[in-house]
Structure 1
Amino acid sequence: MKKVVFALLLTSSAYECMGQVSLKGYPIAAVPINHVELTDKFWLPKIKTVQKTTIPFGFDKSYKEGRMDNFLIAGGKMKGKTRGAMPFDDTDVYKLIEGASNSLISSPDKKLETYVDSIIAIIKVGQEPDGYLTTWHTIDPNNPPAKWVKPGPRWESESMSHELYNAGHLYEAAATHYVATNKRNFLDIALKNADLLVKTFGLEPGKRKAPPGHQIVETGLIKLYNITQKEDYLKLAKFFLDVRGDSTTHKLYGPYSQDHKPVTQQDEVVGHAVRGVYMYAGMTDVAALYNDKTYLNAIKALWENTVNKKMYITGGIGSRHEGESFGDNYELPNKTAYNETCASIGDVYWNQRLFMLTGESKYYDVIERTLYNGLISGISLSGDQFFYPNPLESDGEYKFNFGASTRQPWFDCSCCPTNLVRFVPSVPNLIYATQNDKLYINLFASNKAQVMLNKLAVNIEQQTEYPWNGAIRIGVNPAKQASFTVKVRIPGWTQNEVLPGNLYSFTNHTTTPITLTVNGKAVQPAITNGYADITRQWKKGDVIELKLPMSIRRVVANEAVKDDKGLVSLEYGPVVYCVEGIDNQNKVADITLPDTAQLRIEKKDNLLGGVNVITGTVPLTGQSGSKLTLVAIPYYTWSNRGVDPMKVWLPRSE
């Protein structure tokens, strides 16, 4: 851990409330959504766009695509064949309900709540008497909606049938809906299904011993356990992980499904990236709940492999279109990068768990990079167009996005749009965390929050223009004067670390120190696991002021990354930049960015929702004496103005 340098100034866990599914077993607890009121100019508009546009848009698309009809057909209330093209279409409805529920936590809306209840009533129609719930199989098990799913009895082709994947998203959504509304209508559907799984799967004689093909049922079961305290759900989640890679229990699915060796022996991330990170999140839950060191060692090794050899500069993961999978070590192509939006979402879930288990800020360095870049790039500024893959280069012609070179309003496989709906309203849950008398400030966004440290109520107020400005003001107002510790995260990028590990590095190191004051007086607190620990007697009106030095940074990749040799990318604070044709005379392919080019930041309030751009004069390749006024925009904003060439990585010389 690098020593954090502060400038010397010469001037003077557990919440008894609704708001989140509390994850037991972790020493650190996230502060619930309904305890954080965003006032932020960056995240609040994005959440409101999802609430006002994307949630109703997603429900409307699901209705028109027949997602709701499938439950009615399965329950005999409608006639017809399975609608849709995927065996996991049910999950789109579940994820929309989860997103709506997360929205209801922070923004109560009776009309939305009533609508969600009507959809839950439709879902109940499709559930079989014993609790089974996968509509395509109930409608016609001999005619799956996708050719790659084998017909037959329940769970017979689980490697690709997605029956347990459907169950996992059902549990995740039902748990969130329960804490949002305190209603059991959706929870009871999920519990009935979970009880069927408990009766069906396990090592006991007569039970099925195969794991799910696509993981997520593990974390879903654990959320049901957290609500009900029913040990069977926790044991089943661990069973599903324990039997992976065990050829004595089932015919192995192979590396694509992370079923090539026991999970505790895996040390390289392989296969389908979304399946992988969902599984790693479940493994982290098991490590926490069982205090299992073998699980912990495995997930740490998998994380190290990810950040050191398989993560894009945007935080994206999964380089191959084939199998939507991780590639080999250092296989990070740009134009053909996959970087599925769902994988970024799953990676945030995993890294938040790793933080709650260890209290190390490096996991939030990954979360922050992913959030501001490779995750929100998946949704348009208007909230109704999406990326499934998120490449780092486009020629405007290569059709990377399911047959398109730009954003699309929907997909036959619509997992990414609905996953964004469930995730974005939950962002306030990532900002703060508590552990006994310690308050962690993990992300910087204007907000007002209420936290509990032991039994002491503390009001926190952040004011900042982050990520465009590094000045952060934090008001600390305890109910009464008391001693506790405020742990302020010091982002790795301020310490010349692009990401944890050695996959990327800055060419221009910053020597500008951080300034940190309490009530106007400079402090230089101890740094623990990447956090500045400020322990003192706090009283109402106390103010922490943090200034993170921001400048334009140039990044290069490890020499082992062949696709980035001789190239450089740009960052400002936590934001990765790219160049797009519309801003650069459609000469993206000719732009060179030498180390000597003078660059500056310009604030553009009327561009792309209000952003900082990087601009400067640069030479054009092969055009002696020709120069261009380069304009680089935040990567997450590209492809909001039509089909256009784009690059994140640019040549350092002609």
Structure 2
Amino acid sequence: MKKIFLIALLNGSMLLASAQQSDYGIQAVNFTKVKLTDKFWLPRLKTNHSVTISASFARCENTGRVKNFEMAAARSGKFCTKFPFDDTDIYKTIEGASYSLSLFPDKKLAAYIDTLIQKIAAAQEPDGYLYTARTIDPAHPHPWSGMQRWEKERELSHELYNSGHLYEAAAAHYYATGKKSLLNVALKNADLVCATFGPDKKHTAPGHEIVEMGLVKLYRIAAKPEYLQTAKFFIEERGHDTHYDPKSKDEWKNGAYWQDNIPVVQQDEAIGHAVRACYLYSGVADVAALTGDRDLLNAIDSIWENMVSKKIYVNGGIGAVPSGERFGDDYELPNATAYNETCAAIANVFWNERMFLLHGDAKYVDVLEKSLYNAVLSGIGLDGKSFFYSNAMQVKDNFSHTALERSRAGWFECSCCPTNLVRLLPSVPGYMYAQKGNDVYVNLFASSTTTFNVHNKPVSIEQQNNYPWDGDLKFIVSPKTSDAFNLLVRVPGWAQNEVLASDLYRFSTADVTKPVIKINGQAIDYTVQKGYALLNRKWEKGDAVEVQLPMKTKLIQATANLKEDAGKVAVERGPLVYCAEGKDNDGKAANILLPASSSFQAEFENNLLNGVTVLKTTAPVLEVKNETSVATVNKPVILIPYYAWANRGEGEMMIWFPSRVKDVDVITVDNKEGSRPK
């Protein structure tokens, strides 16, 4: 008799699947089982539900994305948007809206999603093919698509990318509503994909990865082995295409842009388009967990080490190079032209969650938290409907930023980032807790309640804190009956004198203050294992755990290999990286110096930027006295959390500050704002 049991999806949803030989040893706690009560994440999730989702759907309507499906259903018309992957903006918004329905029931939203699903289903061809850029007019498909199905999948068509997002949306909608309307569309398409690609079928490595992750989600639902087999096949196909030139240094010509230059099991460096890369690494983690493939696991372990030690910005952003939205060479992390696509930060969250589930090490959650609080949140305005596609590391008024956005936009022709944010935000509660048998992990901190089972008995945990503004955390642990298990509370790297799990960045001064932990008011000795305080005891109802993280403002220095950051410091408090905006500093930010001896006063400003802790200090500021004279003057300086910049209009912004004046260069600047120095 076939065994059936429940396992946890990465975002926390529970799903029915046939028994697996292996899987993630650690399972995330269902995001619907975590009820937020905090003042940081809960308002953002409510804004996402009430503003961002509706704005996203409206823009899908207004830009013709919905019309593309209507024309595909009619098999008549002309594809009316720019990119063949525009279908995914509807899929991603449905995914995010489905997650949000689980948190905030909404009959009107649910009914609207149903109408969209009807249009999607009508656009699907009889054999399961779903790709409006071809179906509308097969004789004249999108120029990126080729005349035949899948013809340009490796490079441009995004047919499998569209399928991947369809699968992710279908899984989310099924778990949130119990309805199979979109799931049936996805399964029909997946059956076609599996019938088309394989060892004795068509050989193709997807040009833009995510179908691998999507197939795994459908595999967990439908228990069809071919879904997992095809996901693994797509991974193993990489590095075998003969039309690439392995001798070329051009990533488009040698395949590295698509992570297709060498087989995945031989890769040890984060390369190419950063979003594609992290979607691939996430899919590799899924397949490695489900198949026990050690070679795949070893590959992503090596790639992760390369990224964290050589290719990640201090704020958790990745994908430094604008040309190709890609990872650069080792230590290629320029500030003036930093790209840092919002989607790349989101993909980095996905990947690091999976790495934690594989290894149970807090260093992965440290990177996840860094990316989430800084590089991800920077991508969405406080109004919930303005966005950054790329996220700058500095903005100077006397320099043109050819690769940067200086102000937020409501939409983009390539609108992948806004819709990606729609689907990530409501899933955040699913990253807070995880479990492996009688080991219960607390990864992220936000006032909330949750309940899960240990030894087949319910245990509730209530978090009480004011994170990320305050480091005092409290957990009320209440098993239904007294029970012994391990509570593993993450001690963030920033509270253990580590910026990230590498020597890429370090704090200017070592802080040996060990976080204090109390149980029922009594301070205890504890050990830290893989970044977690291991608390083992027989827990009683109402046991109170207090954790005091030293929430100090710290200066960060970069390794000498980052030449552009030499002699400079960045500022961090808790998980938040700070920046200076001209709005708070007499219109300028690029003229501020922060000596190594700088100290800061943290003050919460309730009426600023929806409520933020600002950092205040007095520092040397370079000023032009007259046309022939400059000087440094000690002046008040205010820093704000990086995620909150550019919510008050355009202006200068800096993250890295010189510690001292080393040189002065005389330039002239055109009167036009943003012109390049001569």
Pairwise same-fold verdict (TM > 0.5) = yes
> After superposition, where does 1:113-124 map in structure 2 within 5 Å?
113-124=110-121
1:201-232: CA deviations, max 9, x gaps?
0111xx21011100000000000000011000
Match of 2:73 among 58, 72, 75: 75
Cα distance in 2 for partners of 1:301, 1:19 equals 27
Q: Is the CA contact (8 Å cut-off) linking 1:19 and 1:105 kept in structure 2?
A: no
Match of 1:101 among 98, 101, 108: 98
Q: Is the CA contact (8 Å cut-off) linking 2:362 and 2:530 kept in structure 1?
A: yes
> After superposition, where does 1:366-515 map in structure 2 within 5 Å?
366-396=367-397, 404-515=405-516
Which residue identity lines up with residue 107 of structure 1 in the other structure? Answer: F
Match of 1:289, SS state, is helix
Report the counterpart of residue 182 of structure 1 in structure 2.
178
Match of 2:484, SS state, is strand
Report the counterpart of residue 54 of structure 2 in structure 1.
56
Residue 632, structure 1, aligned to residue 630, structure 2: no
Which residue identity lines up with residue 472 of structure 2 in the other structure? Answer: A
Report the counterpart of residue 156 of structure 1 in structure 2.
151
Match of 2:13 among 5, 12, 20: 20
Cα distance in 1 for partners of 2:130, 2:29 equals 33
Residue 200, structure 1, aligned to residue 196, structure 2: yes
Cα distance in 1 for partners of 2:274, 2:127 equals 33
Which residue identity lines up with residue 116 of structure 1 in the other structure? Answer: I
Cα distance in 1 for partners of 2:451, 2:331 equals 43
Cα distance in 2 for partners of 1:67, 1:150 equals 17
Residue 41, structure 1, aligned to residue 39, structure 2: yes
**Superposition deviation, residue 151 in structure 1:** 2.8
Residue 165, structure 1, aligned to residue 161, structure 2: yes
Q: Is the CA contact (8 Å cut-off) linking 1:401 and 1:407 kept in structure 2?
A: no
Residue 244, structure 1, aligned to residue 224, structure 2: no
Which residue identity lines up with residue 81 of structure 2 in the other structure? Answer: G
Match of 1:590, SS state, is coil
Worse-matched range after superposition: 450-459 or 25-34: 450-459
Report the counterpart of residue 310 of structure 1 in structure 2.
311
Q: Is the CA contact (8 Å cut-off) linking 1:243 and 1:249 kept in structure 2?
A: no
Which residue identity lines up with residue 163 of structure 2 in the other structure? Answer: A
1:601-628: CA deviations, max 9, x gaps?
1111111011111111111236435222
1:376-413: CA deviations, max 9, x gaps?
10000000000000111012576759885210000000
Match of 2:116, SS state, is helix
**Superposition deviation, residue 19 in structure 1:** 5.8
**Superposition deviation, residue 106 in structure 1:** 1.6
Cα distance in 1 for partners of 2:74, 2:549 equals 60
Q: Is the CA contact (8 Å cut-off) linking 1:396 and 1:405 kept in structure 2?
A: no
Match of 1:233, SS state, is helix
Cα distance in 1 for partners of 2:327, 2:404 equals 21
TM-score with structure 2 length normalisation? 0.91
Report the counterpart of residue 217 of structure 2 in structure 1.
223
Q: Is the CA contact (8 Å cut-off) linking 1:271 and 1:326 kept in structure 2?
A: yes
> After superposition, where does 1:314-329 map in structure 2 within 5 Å?
314-329=315-330
Q: Is the CA contact (8 Å cut-off) linking 1:21 and 1:176 kept in structure 2?
A: no
Which residue identity lines up with residue 352 of structure 1 in the other structure? Answer: E
**Superposition deviation, residue 525 in structure 1:** 2.1
Residue 595, structure 1, aligned to residue 596, structure 2: yes
Q: Is the CA contact (8 Å cut-off) linking 2:391 and 2:404 kept in structure 1?
A: no
Aligned positions, number: 637
Relative to 1, partners in 2 of residues 1:107 and 1:396: Cα closer, same or farther, differing over 3 Å? farther
Which residue identity lines up with residue 645 of structure 1 in the other structure? Answer: E
Cα distance in 2 for partners of 1:84, 1:398 equals 33
Report the counterpart of residue 226 of structure 2 in structure 1.
232
Q: Is the CA contact (8 Å cut-off) linking 1:396 and 1:643 kept in structure 2?
A: no
Match of 2:74, SS state, is coil
Match of 1:647 among 654, 665, 672: 654
Q: Is the CA contact (8 Å cut-off) linking 1:215 and 1:279 kept in structure 2?
A: yes
**Superposition deviation, residue 81 in structure 1:** 0.8
Worse-matched range after superposition: 14-23 or 262-271: 14-23
Relative to 1, partners in 2 of residues 1:399 and 1:385: Cα closer, same or farther, differing over 3 Å? farther
Q: Is the CA contact (8 Å cut-off) linking 1:98 and 1:177 kept in structure 2?
A: yes
**Superposition deviation, residue 513 in structure 1:** 2.2
1:348-374: CA deviations, max 9, x gaps?
111101111111110000011111101
Cα distance in 1 for partners of 2:375, 2:515 equals 27
1:412-456: CA deviations, max 9, x gaps?
000000000000000000000011111100011000111112312
Cα distance in 2 for partners of 1:203, 1:60 equals 42
Worse-matched range after superposition: 586-595 or 325-334: 586-595
1:9-34: CA deviations, max 9, x gaps?
xxxx9569996155971011111111
Q: Is the CA contact (8 Å cut-off) linking 1:584 and 1:628 kept in structure 2?
A: no
Cα distance in 1 for partners of 2:424, 2:659 equals 37
TM-score with structure 1 length normalisation? 0.95
Unaligned runs of 5+ in 2: 246-252, 624-629, 662-678
Which residue identity lines up with residue 330 of structure 2 in the other structure? Answer: N
Relative to 1, partners in 2 of residues 1:397 and 1:480: Cα closer, same or farther, differing over 3 Å? farther
Cα distance in 1 for partners of 2:113, 2:33 equals 23
Q: Is the CA contact (8 Å cut-off) linking 1:87 and 1:144 kept in structure 2?
A: no
1:68-124: CA deviations, max 9, x gaps?
1111101117x5210111110000000000000110112222221111111101111
Cα distance in 1 for partners of 2:213, 2:495 equals 34
Report the counterpart of residue 7 of structure 1 in structure 2.
none
Q: Is the CA contact (8 Å cut-off) linking 1:440 and 1:486 kept in structure 2?
A: yes
Worse-matched range after superposition: 325-334 or 394-403: 394-403
Cα distance in 1 for partners of 2:334, 2:244 equals 35
Residue 262, structure 1, aligned to residue 263, structure 2: yes
Q: Is the CA contact (8 Å cut-off) linking 2:77 and 2:137 kept in structure 1?
A: no
**Superposition deviation, residue 250 in structure 1:** 9.1
Report the counterpart of residue 207 of structure 2 in structure 1.
213
Match of 2:85 among 76, 80, 88: 88
Q: Is the CA contact (8 Å cut-off) linking 1:598 and 1:616 kept in structure 2?
A: yes
Cα distance in 2 for partners of 1:529, 1:42 equals 27
Match of 2:260, SS state, is coil
Match of 1:621, SS state, is strand
Which residue identity lines up with residue 333 of structure 1 in the other structure? Answer: P
Match of 1:483, SS state, is strand
Which residue identity lines up with residue 133 of structure 1 in the other structure? Answer: L
Q: Is the CA contact (8 Å cut-off) linking 2:585 and 2:637 kept in structure 1?
A: yes
> After superposition, where does 1:533-612 map in structure 2 within 5 Å?
533-612=534-613
Relative to 1, partners in 2 of residues 1:525 and 1:314: Cα closer, same or farther, differing over 3 Å? same
Q: Percent identity?
A: 48
Match of 2:42, SS state, is helix
Q: Is the CA contact (8 Å cut-off) linking 1:255 and 1:270 kept in structure 2?
A: yes
Cα distance in 2 for partners of 1:446, 1:166 equals 37
Q: Is the CA contact (8 Å cut-off) linking 2:337 and 2:402 kept in structure 1?
A: no
**Superposition deviation, residue 144 in structure 1:** 4.8
Which residue identity lines up with residue 122 of structure 2 in the other structure? Answer: V
Cα distance in 1 for partners of 2:509, 2:583 equals 28
Report the counterpart of residue 10 of structure 1 in structure 2.
none
Cα distance in 1 for partners of 2:519, 2:402 equals 49
